[in-house]
Amino acid sequence: MLTPKITATREVVSLDGIWKFAVDTGAAVDTGAAPWAGPLETTLEAPVPASYNDLFTDPAIRDHVGWVWYQRTVRVPRGWADDRVIVRVDAATHHGVVYVDDRLVAEHEGGYLPFEADITDLVTAGDEFRLTIGVDNRLTPDTIPPGTVTTRADGRLAQSYMHDFYNYAGLARSVWLASRPAVHVDDITVVTDIDGTTGVVDYRVELAGAADVRVRLTDATGAEVAAAEGATGTLRVADAHLWQPGAGYLYTLVVEVTVDGIVVDEYPQTVGIRTVAVDGGRFLINGQPFYFTGFGKHEDSAVRGKGHDDAYLVHDFQLIDWIGANSFRTSHYPYAEEVMDFADRHGIVVIDETAAVGLNKKIGGGIADMLGGAADKDFADGFGPKMQDAHRREIRELIGRDKNHPSVVMWSIANEPDTMSEGTDTYFEPLFALARELDPTRPVTFVNVMMAPPNVCRVSKFADVLCLNRYYGWYVDGGDLASAEAHLEAELRGWEGMYGKPMIMTEYGADTIAGYHSVWDQPWSEEYQASMLAMYHRVFDRVETMVGEQVWNFADFQTSSGFFRVDGNKKGVFTRDRKPKAAAHALRARWTARRDDQTGVNGR
């Protein structure tokens, strides 16, 4: 799905700002009441984009389970009389319904991917309409991510889930009103290759309506470097300027749709010319071995929850650069498109993950729950074909949205699912096949949980790269780094011996209270976090097929409360307000040295 853009033939109006907001106490959607049928009866207002949970002081809003309503009036620009009019919601977490006046125009499941509706027939250029968006935060055994809703003794609903981050909900990303011509570009797919010093750009344009297509490729200065006619084709760029880690050079493919020689639609698609490949135990970008440094992140900040914020976007990428990192994983859901665009422009490498997190009854809310008796639950016990359908949709929509981002070098189809139980291989095999069918150009992986070592995991055989989350020195061998080091190395050598595939440590880390110091290696101290990471690094440097290290987590983040979390997960290298802990300085020394060593190779 194309991002709304202002072009010679398209306009966009941001609908961000303050909307009327109401919590649905009567389950309106389920009972037939219709809050969208007139002005919302409420005194509350909420900003878009933002999760609603932490905005209000009322705990009944923060912990609400079910529908909430957002409403505002929108005026269609008067110049749009000849255009199609589109409402686009960048994300509604987790289930969204959109009403134009009294009419339902869109419904979407999956809280981190966009959807849109063509509302042309319901609105008039120059006039106002009432836009109401309902958002349901419930997670069930059939959703991605899954969860369970139960009813408490006093009738209130309670939501539980098996992932370790707070179930922030609402309209956490932008909402747009967009115009586009009746005959228009519906989709664009770009695949790049390198032939000597020539860049090869294969493109495919899908149209709505009958028309001709012509394309031109411009470089970063705007100069045309190649052109072609037809909806599919190949462009060759002499002396191509490659997209490199650390140097995100972008071309623009300007797609023009013509009818009788007149341009009726224009859409610019950014293009980074680069290749990605797995070769034995190596991960190659542009034919050069690439070593991932960086983090698993979250979209998370105080007050906004998962609300997208351009200031945090810029600041987080500044900190990624400051610390010398070259990559991150969109743990544990697709991130806002603004993030992906920024990564493209700045040469940050991304492992792009679906929202399939917590497909694991054996660990519950974070690995810590495993100790609380979840270990005897089975995958088949509750996760069924409906969840697999939702998972398929999630893969399809993620690849549909992000396929043209050069920063994305690999798809991760799930985080820490149960891959030990019978039936998990038959659940996952078709999902890997689907991802490869949708995108034959990028490696596909999933992130393996500590309870599924090489001789136990039934799914690693399908992955192109082994992505491992390990907590030796924390959940296992906690406080005993000598044992942790021995166990970690033994396990990594086990994977290397059995598979020989490239390995990335996609999570390793220790909860750390900023400001807690100790002369001993005390868990929760800043010193322990730094020592533990250093121990992992010694091991990584000894294992040849290690191709990356992504610390858990970039910053402290909010989780549901419980006995294992005090105001959230504290494994951040930065605090929730992005102040460095001691480990940040240690990582900076290691990663900037590594980055400087790669100067030339990675274009820095």
Look-up of token digits 């690999």 = 410
* Residues numbered 320-359 forming contacts with ligand BDP, rule: CB under 6 A: 332
| Nearest CA-CA partner of 110 in 309, 385, 486, 397 | 397
Q: Between β-strands 95-100 and 128-136, what pairing exists: parallel, antiparallel or unpaired?
A: antiparallel
- Interface with ligand BDP, residue 464, by CB under 6 A: no
Q: Is the CB of 458 or the CB of 571 nearer to ligand BDP?
A: 571
| Nearest CA-CA partner of 330 in 247, 260, 401 | 401
Q: Is the CB of 489 or the CB of 511 nearer to ligand BDP?
A: 511
From 111, 366, 417, 568, residue interacting with ligand BDP (rule: CB under 6 A)? 366
One-letter amino acid for residue 431 of the chain? L
Least Å distance, CB 539 to ligand BDP, is 19
Q: Please answer whether residues 505 and 546 qualify as being in contact, where contact means their C-beta atoms are separated by less than 8 angstroms.
A: yes
From 86, 123, 213, 367, residue interacting with ligand BDP (rule: CB under 6 A)? 367
* Residues numbered 400-429 forming contacts with ligand BDP, rule: CB under 6 A: 415-416
Q: Is the CB of 164 or the CB of 316 nearer to ligand BDP?
A: 164
Least Å distance, CB 558 to ligand BDP, is 11
The pattern of x and - marking residues 86 through 105 that bind ligand BDP according to CB under 6 A reads --------------------
Q: Report in angstroms the alpha-carbon separations of 513 from 146, 345, 419, 556, 564.
A: 30, 34, 32, 10, 14
* Residues numbered 476-515 forming contacts with ligand BDP, rule: CB under 6 A: 507
Q: Which residue of the set 116, 507, 526, 549 is catalytic?
A: 507
Least Å distance, CB 552 to ligand BDP, is 6
One-letter amino acid for residue 496 of the chain? E
Q: Please answer whether residues 556 and 570 qualify as being in contact, where contact means their C-beta atoms are separated by less than 8 angstroms.
A: yes
Catalytic residue list contains 437: no
Q: Is the CB of 569 or the CB of 598 nearer to ligand BDP?
A: 569
Q: Is the CB of 70 or the CB of 165 nearer to ligand BDP?
A: 165
The pattern of x and - marking residues 548 through 577 that bind ligand BDP according to CB under 6 A reads ----x----------------x-x------
Beta strands in 172-281 (DSSP E): 175-180, 184-195, 198-208, 212-218, 224-229, 232-237, 251-259, 262-271, 276-279
| Spacing of C-alpha 252 from chain mean position | 24
Q: Which residue of the set 266, 416, 496, 549 is catalytic?
A: 416
Neighbour-count burial for 85-105, b at 16+ CB within 10 Å, e otherwise: bbbbbbbbbbbbbbbbbeeeb
SS3 420: coil
Q: Is the CB of 179 or the CB of 512 nearer to ligand BDP?
A: 512
Helices (H), 543-601: 582-597
Catalytic residue list contains 338: no
| Spacing of C-alpha 457 from chain mean position | 25
From 54, 90, 164, 397, residue interacting with ligand BDP (rule: CB under 6 A)? 164
Q: Is the CB of 274 or the CB of 332 nearer to ligand BDP?
A: 332
Least Å distance, CB 114 to ligand BDP, is 24
Least Å distance, CB 289 to ligand BDP, is 27
Phi/psi of residue 121, each to 5°? -75, -10
CA pair distance 254, 164, nearest whole angstrom: 42
Least Å distance, CB 417 to ligand BDP, is 10
| Residue with the shortest CB distance to ligand BDP | 164
Total of chain residues touching ligand BDP, rule CB under 6 A = 11
Q: Is the CB of 51 or the CB of 415 nearer to ligand BDP?
A: 415
Which residues 6+ apart lie within 8 Å of 178 measured at CB? 4, 10, 11, 12, 13, 85, 86, 87, 88, 116
Least Å distance, CB 575 to ligand BDP, is 15
Phi/psi of residue 369, each to 5°? -65, -25
Least Å distance, CB 270 to ligand BDP, is 31
H helix count then E strand count, the chain? 9, 32
Q: Please answer whether residues 375 and 434 qualify as being in contact, where contact means their C-beta atoms are separated by less than 8 angstroms.
A: no
The residues that touch ligand BDP, with contacts defined as CB under 6 A, are 164, 332, 366-367, 415-416, 469, 507, 552, 569, 571
Residues acting as catalytic residues: 416, 507
